[in-house]
A and B are shown apart, each in its own frame.
Chain A
Amino acid sequence: MTDSTWKRPATKIAIAVAGLAAALTVAACGSTGGSDNSDVPTAPGGKASGTLNISQWPLYIDDKTIDEFEKATGIKVNYTEDVNSNTDFFGKVQPLLANGDSGGRSILTVTDWMSKKMYDLGYLQKLNPDDLKTVFNHLIPSLQDPAFDPGRTYSIPWQSGMTGLVVRTDLAPDIKSINDLFDPKYKGKVTMLDELRDSAALVMKADGVEPSEASTEEWLAAVDKVKGAKESGQIRRFTGNDYVQDLAKGDVVAAIGWSGDAVQAQADNPNIEYVQPEQGCILWSDNMSIPVGAPNSPAAYEFMNYVYEPENQAQIVEYVNYISPVTGVKEILTKKDPELANNELIFPSEKFLSKCSNQVSPPGDDAQQKEVENAWLSVVEG
């Protein structure tokens, strides 16, 4: 290399940048080791005061509850609707949580399988039942011992919901089963959720396979069935919440979707209706948890107890239209808003849910789960 090369400004800049970068990399290179939950602490209780930061899904609370909670307790709440999808939220907070930092959050809300994943990684603290007396007094029996968190040691349900069919009854009145989505009559007019644990699970249920007992092969078979329908042009899109707009426009006549969305969409367009699939739905809950490094856990306990007071819960349910995990709410709403209290999507009867399954992840170890997830991804992102 000649001397003049070194004097060229571009070369000088390149060397300066590389040198600086190398120094910063060395300085920043921390551990990238894995995590587990062997030393998860229990969130301390005590007298609640100060500020409480909550991460929540959009449109998941009415506009009065937070103000009333602040007035009743003197706690200042920063309520942030920054959970748009389990996976995206996880991707955002994971680097913080891996370092034991919650980013200031004292409560975050994610779905069952994600709660478990976070807990297994050591990102969630254990909860002290003595600090959650109201919660455990009013938690409905069916949610007290879920398979992923028996006895509710780290997750407290916020709301539950059903994944099933959301149908334009004027355009596709005969859709009753997930299998009807594969009817060539509706080619290019149906969508599925891009969530493996919703869509693939419903497809296998329709073929008589119970998701919680399914093998890796059965999951892969369900994924394959969806793949066939995608390649033939049967399925128009894989969606998040945005399937509601497609249905409203009539671009799509039937979708795999969530019950609460259907209740809200129906208010605008009476032809949009939730249809319980003949072979049953997928049941899930979104759960409040206290992440590691959370400041002010006493205030978090206080908030959980507050929303489990049936009166306060009724106010939330009136607005969000999902299934409430709190006892005594139906009785309150029967007086206040009988139509709501009789809605099977908000207060489902046992019969309505009889064929439904709880949402589960594919079975097996990390590699086996990844195999299914990768197969699903290559279908959704084909």
Chain B
Amino acid sequence: MTTLRQRLVPYGLMGPGLLWLALFFVVPMFFMAWFSVSSGSLEAGWSLTWTFSNYTDAISNYTTQFGRSFLYAGAATIFCLLLGYPLAYAIAFKAGRWQNLMLFAVIAPFFTTYLIRTIAWKTILEDSSPVVSFLKTIQVLPSDGRVLATSAAVIAGLTYNFLPFMVLPLYASLERLDLRLLEASKDLYASATQTFFRVTLPLTAPGIIAGVLLTFIPAVGDYVNATFLGGVNQSMIGNVIQAQYLVINDYATAAALSFTLMIIILIAVMLYIRFAGTEALMGDEEEASA
């Protein structure tokens, strides 16, 4: 039998966290939901009119920006994975005594603010920069082309800024990998490639899933990269929401856009975990129970 006191302990531990969540996440969500079906203006005040057309208007007016956000975030996530996996693999298995230094190097950019790092990319990609001249020399870019203020610049910025969020979970799951399983694979005459695809990759799937979610979700809502590295046709949905709130003070449209974005992300993430995720996660569970 548990005493009352024992039963209350979990609530005591959860309490501060719950209060925090309720105050700063759930309450604002209620207000946002309220605004998203309201009508009015700052001058006249807002009233709850159950105007669901806020949603249809918001979606039909800004379909392009929604599509663009998912495209950019998706591309950045794929690039992060392609760059991050070999990097995490190298840090986990090949770095030797340099391991800690390399991990530190992955985290080091966080010592500078996000904004400054993004603005630094403006200098890296400016029209007369060595990077751009090089791209022109090898004819990837036409001689009157530019990188800054294009989609490529925004995706490059997102990839750069979110790379650590991909590398760290990948590193954590690679680090935990039982090396005896790799030996066993070799003993059973699997080639290095076979070992990688049939042992290493499946066992680190939880790390990949975590990395993809940590990269993709914040990247979809990002607006800093598009602001500084994008041009006139690179606005993401975050830029639209920011402008709706702060420039024209249309809280209803802004709230409807925010909710729509949230719901799409939620659905996308659930589908992702269901289709891409369960197999890997279940495989892991079977492994554990075996």
Residues of A that sit less than 8 Å from B by CB? 9, 13, 16-18, 20-21, 24-25, 28, 32-36, 87-88, 90-91, 94, 120-121, 188, 230-231, 235-238, 242, 245, 249-251, 366, 370, 373-374, 377-378, 380-382
Contact = CB atoms under 8 A, between A and B. Distances in A.
A318 B235 CA distance: 39
A381 B40 contact: no
A183 to B, nearest CB: 16
A157 to B, nearest CB: 24
B22 A373 contact: no
Interface string B105-149: 000000000000000001000111000000000000000001011
A9 B243 CA distance: 40
Interface string B233-256: 101000110011111111000000
B248 A188 contact: no
A24 B128 contact: no
B41 A235 contact: no
B43 A236 contact: no
Contact of B232 (A33, A237, A242, A374): A237
Contacts, number: 109
B226 to A, nearest CB: 9
Contacts of A34: 40-45
A82 B64 CA distance: 33
Contacts of A374: 248, 250
A249 B128 CA distance: 8
A213 B43 CA distance: 24
- Majority DSSP secondary structure for residues of A touching B: helix
A202 B250 CA distance: 25
Contacts of B101: none
Given A16-B14, A21-B22, A378 B61 contact: yes
Given A24-B22, A366-B44, A251 B231 contact: no
B119 to A, nearest CB: 9
Given A366-B44, A373-B248, A25 B27 contact: yes
A88 B245 CA distance: 9
Contacts of A236: 149, 231-232
A17 B30 CA distance: 12
